[in-house]
Structure 1
Amino acid sequence: MSKSVITLNCDMGESYGPWVMGNDTQVMPLIDMANIACGFHASDPKTMAETVKLAIQHDVNIGAHPSYPDLLGFGRRTIVMNSEELTYSLIYQIGALKAICDSFNTELSYVKPHGALYNDMLNDLSIFESVVDAVSCFSIPLMMLAHPESQPFLDIADRYEVPLLFEAFADRAYLSNGQLAPRNREGAVLIDAESVINQVEQLIQYGKVMTLEGDVIEIDADTICVHGDNPQAVTILHQLRTRI
């Protein structure tokens, strides 16, 4: 069964000072949802503000993209934090982006954690609950990986009255357990446009994806992520807009 409406989201605003990451100006017009870094893995106040302005210009929904405090590792390393430390760290980051949104009279629409935090919350329900606790302060949805075993996550989110948005990935390979393949595994990141387009078409038309192990699993997603640092991101997004 195909989905009648599905959105495209992308991680944005990940530059830092003079260091440039991604191609935000070309990518932003092609997406529906911008996951904007909040300063703990990338970005800075000026970059956050400029990315918010760019999203407003192209009528793109704005989401917070918080992480572990890991600028050096781009948020891809697990940082051990207790539940309160993690919750308050996330409130701090999300609140900063919300304040910038408020300054431009626009809304913060959702939260999508970044990198190791995103992966860790899928593997540890106590970390997931700390994330949900933080998001509940803002009365907006939390985005997470569409997963065959989602009920435990739904139960926690329901207790905090936090809606969940389920996403699939256009340019990442899957394992048969429904998790994303680790980046250090061969074939985990899809680079060429044809492979990405084929995976997205399978997701949209059939709600299924082929895993690295050769299995077919069902994925019921509300939105699809394309990473902006993919060398062919602009080409991929143009083709996706044409074909879906």
Structure 2
Amino acid sequence: MVAIDLNCDMGESFGNYTMGRDAEVMPYITSANIAGGYHAGDPHVMRETVALAAEHDVGIGIHPGLPDKMGFGRRTMDATPEEVRDYVLYQLGALTAFAKRHGAEVQHVKPHGAMYSMLSESPDHARAVMEAVLEVDPSLVYLATDMNIYEVAQEFDALDAVFEGYVDLDYNADRTLIVEKEVAPKDPDLVADRVVNIANHGEIEAVDGTTLDLPAESICIHGDGPNAVELLEAIHDRLDEENVDIARLDELV
């Protein structure tokens, strides 16, 4: 049976600021990318998010970002490969401690925002992070957000990498994502169609009508979208109709 993972960025609240709809979204996903406290999140939110994921048997992953809460980790920063490696290890260590407290394990790594862009543009930065991940825990899955990163991951025989696709954002013909400044509600039927098409055919349609190869085994849904739960309900219904299973990342590799 065909299977696909549904992942979501979570734990991005901090202090008095609430981001996302984690409690509503968690029952519908199989993998949670939890902020490590640099671009968002704090120790209390990390603990609460890990507990929520463990309650729903959702795979736990670190969503490391650059140390830039004011810019939500989306601003460009000058950092060496070694510095970015240490940022990832620091945040991975924090999440691992909370996971152990709840009798869970960390299953994956998915860099956030400007850090992801840095790894996509610089193979040296990407390799430094992947080498460090393997040194800490060879069983960790690397969730690759674009083909540049995915291709670097293929250099490491011991590293399990899963390619990620998006269905609540549009793609340009060059496979880059169109990131909206203001998030509008998405059409649940369209989003569900995209998930099924990726799962069964490894394809998605770009905004210009071009059919793109998208060999994704994991689909990201943005939990802070105005109708995120409605989208996830529609996705679950369609996958059930199409006999496509939903599985955690550690069950796909």
Q: Same fold (TM over 0.5)?
A: yes
C-alpha distance 229-216 of structure 1, shift in aligned 2 (>3 A): same
Match of 1:221 in 2: 216
Q: Distance in 2 between matches of 1:167 and 1:69?
A: 24
* Aligned partner of residue 19 in structure 1, secondary structure: coil
Structure 2 partner of 1:75: 73
Compared CA separation, residues 85 and 148, structure 1 to 2 (3 A): closer
Say if 2:126 and 2:149, in contact at 8 Å, map to a contact too: no
> What RMSD in Å do the two structures reach over aligned CA positions?
2.1
Q: String of CA shifts for 1:113-144, please: whole Å, max 9, x gaps.
A: 11121222122212211221232222211111
Superposition pairs of residues 63-212 of structure 1, within 5 angstroms: 63-136=61-134, 137-139=136-138, 140-145=140-145, 147=147, 150-155=150-155, 157-158=156-157, 161-183=158-180, 191-212=186-207
- Matched with 1:10 is 8
Deviation at 1:81, TM superposition (A): 0.3
Q: Deviations over 1:11-66 (max 9, x none)?
A: 11111111111111110001000111110011100100000000011111100000
Q: Percent identity?
A: 38
Specify the SS of the correspondent of 1:43. Answer: coil
State TM-score, norm by structure 1. Answer: 0.90
- 2:177 corresponds to which letter in structure 1? L
- Pair 189,209 (structure 1): closer, same or farther in 2 beyond 3 Å: farther
Q: Aligned in 2, Cα 1:152/1:14: closer, same or farther, shift over 3 Å?
A: closer
CA contact (8 A) 2:184 2:226 kept: no
Give the alignment's TM-score, normalised by structure 2. 0.87
Q: Distance in 1 between matches of 2:168 and 2:174?
A: 18
Q: Give the Cα–Cα distance (whole angstroms) in 2 for the partners of residues 192 and 73 of structure 1.
A: 29
Of 40, 47, 50 in structure 2, the residue corresponding to residue 49 of structure 1 is 47
Contiguous gaps of at least 5 residues in structure 2: 240-253
Greater RCO between the two (CA within 8 Å, min separation 6)?
2
Partner letter of residue 31 of structure 1? I
Alpha-carbon distance in structure 1 between the residues aligned to 2:124 and 2:178: 22
Aligned partners of 1:91 and 1:134 also within 8 Å? yes
Query: Unaligned stretches of 5+ in structure 1?
Result: none
Deviates more, 1:202-211 or 1:226-235: 202-211
Q: CA deviation at 1:182?
A: 4.5
| Distance of aligned partners of 1:42 and 1:151 in 2 relative to their CA distance in 1, 3 Å threshold | closer
